[in-house]
């Protein structure tokens, strides 16, 4: 192999172990996923939560409704250029508030709308006739994958509603098994999204750099495992029953 490095991400645990046996450096991380345990409605889902957490979710949803905000679920032919214009405005507005500027171009959204519209679910929040926020998701036969979010104005709890609660509603309505909300943000835990380990494998040709990275990954794996154990004790679900992650 002549490459200076090779990185294989989001492999299964079995593939990860196989790669380790082949000499790859091993890394773990975590994401937050919501699992559909055969729920017929959002209310049935939050019935599995501890009382205080259940009240909190209802309070957050009610606060968004009180702001007069409604939601459009858009997929397939609903994904017009005007819709993409509105979402891109939200995406750029939020991206510009962070350290790194938005990296997806307006043309990107047109291209995915042309090539895979039936696998896209775009949820757009509107006040009156104006779109003020949106979340881009992709889905297959059993999973909804949350990817990008943006808003043009601040509304309390709108991020949680648009990205997490609307996603749960959609998954239940479509009979999907899970929602993968991605990495970062332990705040997702309080909203029913449980930590799930992710795995990657890495080849580094330079021996010195390889040793340094290997040392770092050893400590990082231990830290991730410890954090996962802590998060497992802080789930929002009622203590009775088995509500742990996979």
Tens of pLDDT, residue by residue over 78-125, are 999 999 999 999 999 998 887 678 899 999 999 999 999 999 999 999
pLDDT at residue 7 tops 80: yes
User: Would you state the structure tokens that stand for residue 67, as one six-digit string?
Assistant: 């702001």
3-state secondary structure of 181: coil
Domain that holds residue 160: 37-176
pTM above 0.95, yes or no: no
Q: CA angle at residue 38 from 194 to 230, to 5 degrees? A: 15
Count how many domains the chain has: 2
User: Would you state the structure tokens that stand for residue 242, as one six-digit string?
Assistant: 């088995």
Beta bridge partners of 202: 7, 25
Compute the radius of gyration of the chain from its Cα atoms. 20
34, burial (CB in 10 Å: exposed 0-12, middle 13-18, buried 19+): buried
Do 56 and 12 lie in one domain? The reply is no
For residue 47, being part of any structural domain is answered with yes
Do 140 and 159 lie in one domain? The reply is yes
pLDDT confidence of residue 134: 98
Do 89 and 208 lie in one domain? The reply is no
User: What DSSP state is assigned to residue 98?
Assistant: S
pLDDT confidence of residue 98: 74
For residue 238, being part of any structural domain is answered with no
pLDDT confidence of residue 184: 74
For residue 12, being part of any structural domain is answered with yes
Do 56 and 132 lie in one domain? The reply is yes
Q: Who contacts 77 (Cβ-Cβ below 8 Å, separation ≥6)?
A: 117
pLDDT confidence of residue 99: 66
Do 148 and 46 lie in one domain? The reply is yes
7 φ, ψ (degrees, to nearest 5)? -130, 125
* 244 — pLDDT class (breaks 50, 70, 90): very low
């Amino acid at each position: 192999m002549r490459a200076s490095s090779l990185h294989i991400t989001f492999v299964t645990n079995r593939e990860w172990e196989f790669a380790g046996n082949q000499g790859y450096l091993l890394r773990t991380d975590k994401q937050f996923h919501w699992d559909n345990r055969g729920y017929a409605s959002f209310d049935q889902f939050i019935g599995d939560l501890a009382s205080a957490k259940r009240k909190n979710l209802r309070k957050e949803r009610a606060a968004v409704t009180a702001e007069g905000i409604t939601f459009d679920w858009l997929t397939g032919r609903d994904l017009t250029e005007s819709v993409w214009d509105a979402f891109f405005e939200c995406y750029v507005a939020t991206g510009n508030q962070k350290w790194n500027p938005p990296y997806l171009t307006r043309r990107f959204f047109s291209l995915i709308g042309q090539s895979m519209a039936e696998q896209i679910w775009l949820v757009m929040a509107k006040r009156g006739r104006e779109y003020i926020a949106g979340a881009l998701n992709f889905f297959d036969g059993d999973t909804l994958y949350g990817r990008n979010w943006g808003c043009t104005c601040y509304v309390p709890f709108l991020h949680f509603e648009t990205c997490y609660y609307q996603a749960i509603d959609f998954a239940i309505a479509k009979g999907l098994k899970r929602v993968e909300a991605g990495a970062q943000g332990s705040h997702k835990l309080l909203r029913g999204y449980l930590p799930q380990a992710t795995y990657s494998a890495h080849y580094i040709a330079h021996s010195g750099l390889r040793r340094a990275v290997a040392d770092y990954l050893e400590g990082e794996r231990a830290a991730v495992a410890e954090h996962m154990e802590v998060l497992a004790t802080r789930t929002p679900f009622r203590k009775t029953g088995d509500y742990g992650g996979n």
